Amino acid sequence: MTRRVTVALATGGVDRSYDVVVGHGVRSSVGEVVAGIGAVRRVAIVTQEGIPFSSAAALGLDAVQVSRHVIGDGEDHKTFDTVARLCREFVAAGLTRGDAVVAVGGGMVTDVAGFAAASYHRGIAVVHVPTTLLGMVDAAIGGKTGANLPEGKNLVGAFWQPAGVVCDLDALATLSERELRCGRGEMAKYHFLTGDDLQSMDLADRVARCVEIKAEVVASDERESGRRALLNYGHTLAHALEIASDHSIAHGEAHGEAVAIGLVFAARLAERLGRIDAERVQAHVQVVDGEYALSSAIPHVAGADELVALMARDKKAVDGLTFVLDGPQGVEVVVGVDGTVVRDLLAELLPA
* CA-CA-CA-CA torsion sign (224, 307, 288, 153): positive
Just list the catalytic residues.
122, 144, 186, 214, 224, 228, 232, 235, 239, 251
C-alpha–C-alpha distance, residues 198 and 191, integer Å: 7
239, 308 Cβ separation under 8 angstroms: no
Going along the chain from its start, the domains and CATH numbers come out as: 3-175 (3.40.50.1970), 223-349 (1.20.1090.10)
Q: Average model confidence (pLDDT) for the chain?
A: 93
Q: What is the mean pLDDT of residues 202-221?
A: 94
- pLDDT tens-place string over residues 307-340: 999 999 876 666 679 999 999 999 999 999 999 9
**Do 48 and 70 touch, CB atoms closer than 8 A?**
yes
Asked whether the predicted pLDDT for residue 64 surpasses 70, the reply is yes
Confidence of residue 32 (pLDDT cuts 50, 70, 90): very high
Res. 248: pLDDT tops 60: no
CA distance 21 to 40: 21
- How would you write the chain as a 3-class SS string? CCEEEEECCEECCEECCEEEEEECCCHHHHHHHHHHHCCCCEEEEEECCCCCCCCCCCCCCCCCEEEEEECCCCHHHCCHHHHHHHHHHHHHCCCCCCCEEEEEECHHHHHHHHHHHHHHHHCCEEEEEECCHHHHHHHCCCCEEEEEECCEEEEEEEECCCCEEEEEHHHHHHCCHHHHHHHHHHHHHHHHHHCCCHHHCCHHHHHHHHHHHHHHHHHHCCCCCCHHHHHHCCHHHHHHHHHHCCCCCCCCCCHHHHHHHHHHHHHHHHHHCCCCCHHHHHHHHHHHHHHCCCCCCCCCCCCHHHHHHHHHCCCCCCCCEEEEECCCCCCEEEEEECHHHHHHHHHHHCCC
> Average pLDDT for residues 63-74, to the nearest whole number?
96
Q: What is the pLDDT of residues 112-169, one digit of tens each?
A: 999 999 999 999 999 999 999 999 999 999 999 999 988 777 889 999 999 999 999 9
Average pLDDT over residues 44-61: 97
pLDDT of residue 1: 84
Q: Which residues contact 348 (CB under 8 A, 6 or more apart)?
A: none
Q: 86-90, 173-177, 183-187, 253-257: which range is least confident on average?
A: 253-257
pLDDT on residue 319: 65
Cross-strand pairs, 161: none
What pLDDT shows up at residue 205?
Answer: 94
pTM: predicted TM-score of the whole model, two decimal places: 0.89
Q: Is the confidence at residue 259, as pLDDT, over 60?
A: yes
Residue 153 pLDDT: 78
CB 339 within 8 A of CB 308: yes
Q: Above 80 in pLDDT, residue 304?
A: yes
Asked if 282 and 328 count as a contact pair (C-beta separation under 8 A), the reply is no
At residue 157, φ and ψ (nearest 5 deg) are 165, -165
Stronger pLDDT, 106 or 10, i.e. the higher one: 106
pLDDT for 106 equals 95
Q: What is the pLDDT of residue 92?
A: 98
Under 8 Å between Cβ of 35 and 178: no
Alpha-carbon distance of 212 to 68, in angstroms, equals 31
Res 250 pLDDT > 90:
no
Per-residue pLDDT band at 251 (split at 50, 70, 90): very low
Q: What radius of gyration, in Å, describes the C-alpha atoms of the chain?
A: 20
pLDDT digits (tens, 9 = 90+) for 75-97: 889 999 999 999 999 999 999 99
When pLDDT is averaged across residues 94-111 and rounded to a whole number, the result is 97
pLDDT for the residue numbered 20: 97
Give the pLDDT score at 279.
97
More confidently predicted of 318 and 66: 66
Task: Report the sign of the C-alpha dihedral through residues 181, 183, 185, 191, in that order.
Answer: negative
Residue 272 has pLDDT above 70, yes or no: yes
Is the pLDDT at 221 greater than 60? The verdict is yes
pLDDT value at position 117? 98
